[in-house]
Amino acid sequence: MFKPEKIIIEEKALQYEMGKSLYDRFMKENIEIVIQKSANMTYNCENKAERYREGKRTLILAVKKGNKFESCKPSADFQLPLVSGCTGMCEYCYLNTRMGDQPYIKVYVNNKDIIKNAVDISKERDKTSFEASAFSDPIPVEPYTNSLRDAINAFSDYDNIEFRFVTKYTDVDSLLSIGNKKTTIRFSLNPDKIISRYEHFTPGLEDRLKASEKIIKSGYKLGFIIAPVFIYEGYKDDYTDLIKKVQSIYKGEKIELEIISHRFTEKSRETTLEIFPNSKLPISKNDRKYKFGQFGYGKYVYKDEEIKEMKEYFKEEIERLLPLSEIKYII
127-140 tens-digit pLDDT: 999 999 999 999 99
For the chain, give the percent of residues with pLDDT over 90.
82
Mean pLDDT of 198-221: 96
At 20, the pLDDT band (50, 70, 90 cuts) reads very high
* pLDDT of 260 higher than 80: yes
- What is the C-alpha to C-alpha distance for residues 251 and 255, in angstroms, rounded to an integer? 10
> What's the pLDDT at 279?
94
* pLDDT of 294 higher than 90: no
Domain ranges of the chain: 6-330
> Which long-range contacts (C-beta less than 8 Å, at least 24 apart) are formed by 85-88?
85/135, 85/136, 86/136, 86/137, 86/140, 87/2, 87/56, 87/137, 87/140, 87/141, 87/169, 87/201, 88/137, 88/168, 88/169, 88/199, 88/200, 88/201, 88/202
> What's the pLDDT at 102?
80
* pLDDT of 100 higher than 70: no
> What's the pLDDT at 30?
85
At 98, the pLDDT band (50, 70, 90 cuts) reads low
CATH of range 6-330; options 3.90.170.10, 3.80.30.30, 3.40.50.970, 3.40.50.720: 3.80.30.30
At 48, the pLDDT band (50, 70, 90 cuts) reads confident
Which one, of 163, 109, 103, lies nearest residue 136 by Cα?
103
At 296, the pLDDT band (50, 70, 90 cuts) reads low
> What's the pLDDT at 124?
86
Dihedral in degrees, nearest 10, Cα atoms 320, 322, 328, 331: -50
Residue 79 dihedral angles phi and psi, to the nearest 5°: -80, 145
pTM of the model: 0.93
State the chain's mean pLDDT as an integer: 93
226-257 as b/e: b if 16+ CB within 10 A: bbbbbbeeebeebbbebbebbbeebeeeebbb
152-205 tens-digit pLDDT: 999 999 999 999 999 999 999 999 999 888 999 999 999 999 999 999 999 999
Please say whether the beta carbons of 128 and 159 come within 8 A: no
* pLDDT of 101 higher than 80: no
